[in-house]
Structure 1
Amino acid sequence: MNPSNELQIHDIKDIVEIPDYSIFIFYFLIFLAVLALFIVIVFIIKYFKNKKPNLRKEYSKILKDIDYSQAKTSAYTMSKYVRLLAKNERENILADELIELLQEYKYKKEVKQIDDNIKAKLSTFMDVVDV
């Protein structure tokens, strides 16, 4: 063996190039995140856009905000919305009683102011109605 000769090591292999796909995986994950965010936003928009208004709440609000100064108009309004709000047997009984009391305010040219008894009956009805 000659010391001037170079030692050759046969156990070490040449450098192998490893393909790096990490940037493509990163872009794919960003794409998936944006897509998921878009889908969530679309569902949220559809949920709030297609949400139907609760008519019972609107009817209840109309009855609570009724103007008693115009007796004839308020009698018709009460009759209409009380009938629409009544769902179960107890509510129907109270609605029938209230509508019967309101008959004297309808179909006449001149009517007196709405009685406190009717206002109390409407208040009782509104307490019974579950909105």
Structure 2
Amino acid sequence: MEELADIKGLVEIPDSSIYIYYGLITLAIIVGLVILFFIISKIISLRADKKYKSYIKSLKEIDLSKDVKDGAYKATHFGRLVANSDRKKEIYEQLVEMLEKYKYRKVVDEVDNQTLNQFRLFLQVIDE
């Protein structure tokens, strides 16, 4: 009978596949979080745009000739939310000064033409 060759001991083979596996999982989580961040930011910006449009719609529905006091309060409130540029803020501040005499009183007079024109100008500037 032939002599059996010696069986060699186990040899350790360097294996880094577990590190590659963990790296790929980490990369997938990071990419998923980045995508989630962009989706959430897009949803938030769409909501803000819808709110902005609803504020403009509310401003356009204000009729200062019917209910002066309530209209003055609404114009002040929604105008502040819509005035986001320097020009809009300047016209808004002028409008607020004109509307002050129609707020904080029990009985108010009708709106004068100058205040109505300023309100219409503010609406035109917002539409730009």
Which residue number in structure 2 is paired with residue 113 of structure 1?
110
Q: What is the Cα deviation at residue 74 of structure 1?
A: 0.5
Larger radius of gyration, structure 1 or 2?
1
The count of residues paired between Structure 1 and Structure 2 equals: 83
Which residue number in structure 2 is paired with residue 84 of structure 1?
81
CA distance in 2 between counterparts of 1:77 and 1:54 reads 18
Gapped regions of structure 2 (runs ≥ 5): 1-42
TM-score, normalised relative to structure 1? 0.57
1:122 corresponds, among 103, 119, 124, to 119
CA distance in 2 between counterparts of 1:117 and 1:56 reads 26
SS of 2:84 mapped into structure 1: coil
CA distance in 1 between counterparts of 2:111 and 2:50 reads 29
Q: What is the Cα deviation at residue 107 of structure 1?
A: 0.7
Q: What is the Cα deviation at residue 117 of structure 1?
A: 1.5
Identity of aligned residues (%): 32
CA distance in 1 between counterparts of 2:54 and 2:84 reads 15
CA distance in 1 between counterparts of 2:127 and 2:50 reads 13
SS of 2:110 mapped into structure 1: coil
Task: Give 1 or 2: higher helix fraction.
Answer: 2
Which residue number in structure 1 is paired with residue 34 of structure 2?
none
CA distance in 1 between counterparts of 2:126 and 2:100 reads 22
Which residue number in structure 2 is paired with residue 56 of structure 1?
52
Pairs within 5 Å for 1:1-131 = 52=47, 54-68=50-64, 69-130=66-127
Q: What is the Cα deviation at residue 67 of structure 1?
A: 2.6
Structure 1 segments of 4+ aligned residues over 2 angstroms from their partners = 50-53
